[in-house]
Structure 1
Amino acid sequence: MTTAKQAVATDDHEVLLGELVEALRRVRRGDLRVRLPRRSGLGGEVADAFNDVVSLQERQHLDLRRISRIVGRDGRLTERLDDEGLDGSWAEGQRAVNSLIDDLGRPTTEIARVIVAVADGDLSQHMALEIDGRPLRGEYLRIGRTVNTMVDQLSSFSNEVTRVAREVGTEGK
């Protein structure tokens, strides 16, 4: 390679590295709109790889915002992130969020089931303290025990009211 060509190649690499460093700094600050310009050769491969990674990160960011709104605010506990086309840690991250939604959603659904039953007058329902073969823990265990105690107390109170009403109604006591 001639000295002139080497100088141009070195300049091109310096420009690419400068753009790459600046783009990486912007990504580190949370700017996922940054992209490197298309190039040919090795510089193009670097730019394409960088742009692909940032696109994946942007997709994950947008998916997390969407799922946060749908599950967290709208209460749609059946919504999940899509890991189609993702590999490795990208897919693993999506699956971890889906698992978190499952872990939060199942006890919430169970609590709702018991509360609806009580509201309908069915005081025989209790919250399962084990879901999918795993015992509840932490706040879910505390809430489960509290809900079950509440149902038992309501049932006991209802039975006592019924007993007293029968005594007063049939026996006049």
Structure 2
Amino acid sequence: LELKNTINTMVDQLNGFASEVTRVAREVGTEGNLGGQAEVRGIGGTWKDLTENVNLMAGNLTGQVRNIAEVTTAVANGDLSKKITVEGQGEILELKNTINTMVDQLNAFASEVTRVAREVGTEGKLGGQAEVAGVGGTWKDLTENVNLMAGNLTGQVRNIAEVTTAVANGDLSKKITVEGEGEILELKNTINTMVDQLNGFASEVTRVAREVGTEGKLGGQAQVKDVAGVW
């Protein structure tokens, strides 16, 4: 009778153990319901150790997945301040390192693009270029596009400044040659037209002054097309 009861108790415990382990494995491994723990009463020894190991595995996996989800959700929401801190080994460790490296690269990318945008767009410090080490694919393309934009803007503004400074100093020999589109092209054409008009104005005034004042040819008139206002 005692043997019968012992064996029947053992069967009940094994059933309970198998049922709980199956439940936790299904919830965590198949259904994605994290946080599950096996609860098997009245067991000891190897069965207790096995139950604890299953719970340890489920607990570790829960912590790892939730930490990874927390960080990737933060990144998706534009928060680059978080990193994966949970312990892991093997492929979990590789995934942790990959995501943390991704966060570092995104931080560097955001920082550099912000710096260049601030320097060029707000502070007027031209010539800035974003430098982001170790990026590839879309991030590399974005960095190159930001640098292309900054480089184009630098070339355009410096060429415009060169010509307008020359005009201010009485040098009408320069024109804007840098490529541009849209409003930059309109500004280029406006300034180049201004230089042409100033050249025409200066040439005509000089001619009349020379004819009347030096050569004694009276009756000369300056003819400057398309000028208005003070000119």
TM-score range, shorter chain: 0.7 to 0.9
Q: Which of 126, 148, 151 does residue 99 from structure 1 map onto?
A: 148
1:37 maps to 2:85: yes
Matched, 1:14 2:74: no
Q: TM-score, normalised by structure 1?
A: 0.83
Match runs of 1:1-173 below 5 Å: 2-41=50-89, 42-128=91-177, 131=178, 135-170=179-214, 171=216, 173=218
Unaligned runs of 5+ in 2: 1-48, 219-231
Structure 1 stretches lacking a partner, 5+ long: none
Contact 1:114 1:127 in 2 (8 A): yes
* Structure 1 position 38, deviation (Å): 4.2
Distance 1:104 1:38 in 2: 45
Between 21-30 and 55-64, report the one with greater CA deviation: 21-30
Aligned to 2:226: none
Which deviations, in whole Å up to 9, do the C-alpha atoms of 1:42-91 show, x marking residues without a partner?
A: 33332222211111111111111211222223323222111333333333
Runs of 4+ in 1 over 6 A off after TM superposition: none
CA distance in 1, matches of 2:155, 2:115: 20
RMSD: 2.2
Identity %: 32
Q: In the alignment, is the contact (CA less than 8 A) between 1:19 and 1:36 conserved in 2?
A: yes
Highest RCO, 1 vs 2 (Cα 8 Å, sep ≥ 6): 1
- Distance in 1, Cα, partners of 2:181 & 2:55: 65
Contact 1:67 1:80 in 2 (8 A): yes
AA aligned to 2:58 is: T
For the structure 1 residues 86 and 38, does the alpha-carbon distance in structure 2 shift closer, same or farther, using more than 3 Å as the test? same
